[in-house]
């Protein structure tokens, strides 16, 4: 009974998190379904070995932790989490806390929190293996009193932004996993926009991978400074050892996904929250996996006339387009969080969310600090209307228009940038075209419409009689 905390599941993320916890000075007991994995992990933990207690059974794990216990689950999302809870809970005391730190669907976390026969938290952990090992961004959900019991550990292991821990309680039940899902949706859109810029540089402007990498490296010194731009520069600049070709040129152009982006899009539809850039990114991943169909299409229709004449686009215009697209994508994500906050009665802390994303997580960037400031001024305002960002949009939307238009004219798909532009234009059009939709709905279904002139509702056209 010496360990402060326990951890179940020593896969890549679990092992990294356990090492991080031990390194921050907490005694931790660990257990993995395959006992050998537990012992191999302990043997490889070097000077942290004395802080780590390997255990061979769940009973031993429980015994090794001081009561009231806290046990982190790092097992694959889905049924494995339910199975693990079912196996663990009967061994625990009434005050012992189970913390699911995997990438759970927040609906599952809601259910688990409601069904739990003892304390339960669902926390979103972002930052990949490196983050888990040296400082992730942590988004907590569940009863505040449970969060408060372990927040000293979670804050200690989290990333720090200028000394401030990137670990925050977001709200009840699945709030933490919900915020993590939106984080991943934004992650998809940010990645997709970078990939679209790469496509224009490669196919429109004839840049080789090294030159693309140099562009991203340069952008990473300016307003777009972010982990994703940084790693994109590194990916593009890497040479494949086997072929000596740029690694990017030998990677198959079909993107995988575990589903978090998709969950975000599905939830956005339920909430009627428009997140077109994120939707476009999920669609683009789905489309990317249809390689055979795309090959067939290229034979049938011919490849698009992709090379652009010199000077059609400048790299500076593309940087401005990326800035514009990124602001619009994040604005959409935060509006969705705000919609969920209302719909689920969570009071999600929008400025805090921007703050915990400033370090440790995959979407960390300088711009998130400005977003945190803008959301502190007015948490309910769409970021695109916040003075700092509206000024940026005013000076960058022309560039986004140029990039999207030229991409379209040259047959280069740019769905996320394009949907960002469409969102921008829709959001600055007072008189839209849904009056036609309302007319159509009334014509075929007598659904009624509101009138502009006298403000009356439930009106019908002459076809009603």
Whole-number Å distance between alpha carbons of 460 and 458: 7
- Kindly indicate which of the ranges 65-73, 124-132, 321-329, 373-381 contains the residues binding ligand 6PG, using the contact rule CB under 6 A: 124-132
Nearest residue relative to ligand 6PG (C-beta): 126
Out of 45, 109, 158, 260, point to the residue binding ligand 6PG (CB under 6 A).
Answer: 260
CB of 124 to ligand 6PG, least distance (A): 8
Whole-number Å distance between alpha carbons of 332 and 194: 17
How many Cβ atoms are within 10 Å of 286's Cβ, its own excluded? 12
Could you check whether the bond before residue 101 is cis, i.e. omega within 30 degrees of 0? no
Instruction: Considering the complex, state which of residue 214 and residue 231 has its C-beta at the smaller distance from ligand 6PG.
Output: 231
Q: Which H or E run contains 164?
A: strand 164-165
CB of 365 to ligand 6PG, least distance (A): 13
Instruction: Considering the complex, state which of residue 90 and residue 256 has its C-beta at the smaller distance from ligand 6PG.
Output: 256
CB contact at 8 A, 138 and 169? no
Q: Which H or E run contains 87?
A: helix 79-88
Please report whether residue 103 would count as binding ligand 6PG according to CB under 6 A.
yes
CB of 259 to ligand 6PG, least distance (A): 6
CB contact at 8 A, 72 and 153? no
CB of 338 to ligand 6PG, least distance (A): 21
CB of 414 to ligand 6PG, least distance (A): 20
SS3 of 222, please?
coil
- Kindly indicate which of the ranges 15-23, 121-129, 147-155, 439-447 contains the residues binding ligand 6PG, using the contact rule CB under 6 A: 121-129
- Burial of residue 91, with CB atoms counted within 10 A of its CB: 0-12 exposed, 13-18 middle, 19 or more buried: middle
CB contact at 8 A, 96 and 69? yes
Instruction: Considering the complex, state which of residue 232 and residue 260 has its C-beta at the smaller distance from ligand 6PG.
Output: 260
End-to-end CA distance of the chain: 80
Which residue, 213, 391, 421, is CA-closest to 315?
A: 213
CB contact at 8 A, 26 and 19? no
CB of 47 to ligand 6PG, least distance (A): 27
CB contact at 8 A, 240 and 250? yes
What would the x/- binding string for ligand 6PG be over residues 127 to 156, using CB under 6 A? xx----------------------------
| DSSP strands (E only) in 206-253 | none
Annotated active-site residue in 180, 326, 359, 392: 180
Out of 39, 114, 144, 258, point to the residue binding ligand 6PG (CB under 6 A).
Answer: 258
Annotated active-site residue in 4, 51, 173, 187: 187
Please report whether residue 288 would count as binding ligand 6PG according to CB under 6 A.
no
What would the x/- binding string for ligand 6PG be over residues 169 to 188, using CB under 6 A? ---------------x--x-
What would the x/- binding string for ligand 6PG be over residues 331 to 370, using CB under 6 A? ------------------------------xx--------
- Indicate if the alpha-carbon torsion angle 271, 273, 275, 279 is positive or negative: positive
- Measured CA to CA in angstroms, residue 374 lies from 34, 67, 86, 377, 384 at distances of 48, 42, 44, 5, 10
Q: Does 187 qualify as catalytic in the annotation?
A: yes
Catalytic residues: 180, 187
Residues forming the site for ligand 6PG (CB under 6 A): 103, 126-128, 184, 187, 256-258, 260-261, 361-362
């Amino acid at each position: 009974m010496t360990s402060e905390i326990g951890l179940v599941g020593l896969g890549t993320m679990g092992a990294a998190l356990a090492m991080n916890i031990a390194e921050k000075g907490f005694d931790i007991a660990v257990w993995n379904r395959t006992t050998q994995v537990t012992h191999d992990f302990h043997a490889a933990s070097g000077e942290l070995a004395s802080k780590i207690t390997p255990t061979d059974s769940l009973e031993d794990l429980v015994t090794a932790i001081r009561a009231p216990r806290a046990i982190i689950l790092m097992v694959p999302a889905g049924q494995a989490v339910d199975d693990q809870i079912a196996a663990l809970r009967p061994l625990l005391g009434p005050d012992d806390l189970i913390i699911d730190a995997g990438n759970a669907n927040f609906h599952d976390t809601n259910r688990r929190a409601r069904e739990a026969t003892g304390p339960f938290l669902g926390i979103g952990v972002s930052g990949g293996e490196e983050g888990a090992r040296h400082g992730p961004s942590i988004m907590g959900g569940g009863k505040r009193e449970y969060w408060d019991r372990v927040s000293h550990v979670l804050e200690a292991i989290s990333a720090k932004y200028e000394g401030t821990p990137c670990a925050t309680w977001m709200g009840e039940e699945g709030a933490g996993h919900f915020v993590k899902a939106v984080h991943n949706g934004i992650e998809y859109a940010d990645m997709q926009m970078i990939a679209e810029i790469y496509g224009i540089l490669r196919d429109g402007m004839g840049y080789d991978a090294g030159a693309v990498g140099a562009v991203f490296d340069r952008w990473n010194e300016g307003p777009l400074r972010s982990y994703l731009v940084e790693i994109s520069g590194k990916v593009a600049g890497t040479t494949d050892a086997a072929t000596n070709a740029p690694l990017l040129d030998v990677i198959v152009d079909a993107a995988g996904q575990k589903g978090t982006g998709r969950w975000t899009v599905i939830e956005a539809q339920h909430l009627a929250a428009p997140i077109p850039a994120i939707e476009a990114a999920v669609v683009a991943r789905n489309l990317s996996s249809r390689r055979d169909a795309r090959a067939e299409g290229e034979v049938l229709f011919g490849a698009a006339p992709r090379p652009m004449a010199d000077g059609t686009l400048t790299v500076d215009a593309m940087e401005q387009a990326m800035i514009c697209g990124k602001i619009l994508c994040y604005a959409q994500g935060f509006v969705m969080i705000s919609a969920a906050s209302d719909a689920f009665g969570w009071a999600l802390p929008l400025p805090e969310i921007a703050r915990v994303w400033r370090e440790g997580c995959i979407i960390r960037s300088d711009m998130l600090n400005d977003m945190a400031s803008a959301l502190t001024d007015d948490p309910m305002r769409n970021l695109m209307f916040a003075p700092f960002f509206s000024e940026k949009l005013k000076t960058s939307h022309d560039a986004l228009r140029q990039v999207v238009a030229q991409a379209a004219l040259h047959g280069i798909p740019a769905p996320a940038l394009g949907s960002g532009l469409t969102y921008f234009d829709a959001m600055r059009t007072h008189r839209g075209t849904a009056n036609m939709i309302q007319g159509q709905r009334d014509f075929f279904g007598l659904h009624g419409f509101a009138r502009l002139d006298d403000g009356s509702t439930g009106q019908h056209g002459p076809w009603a009689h």
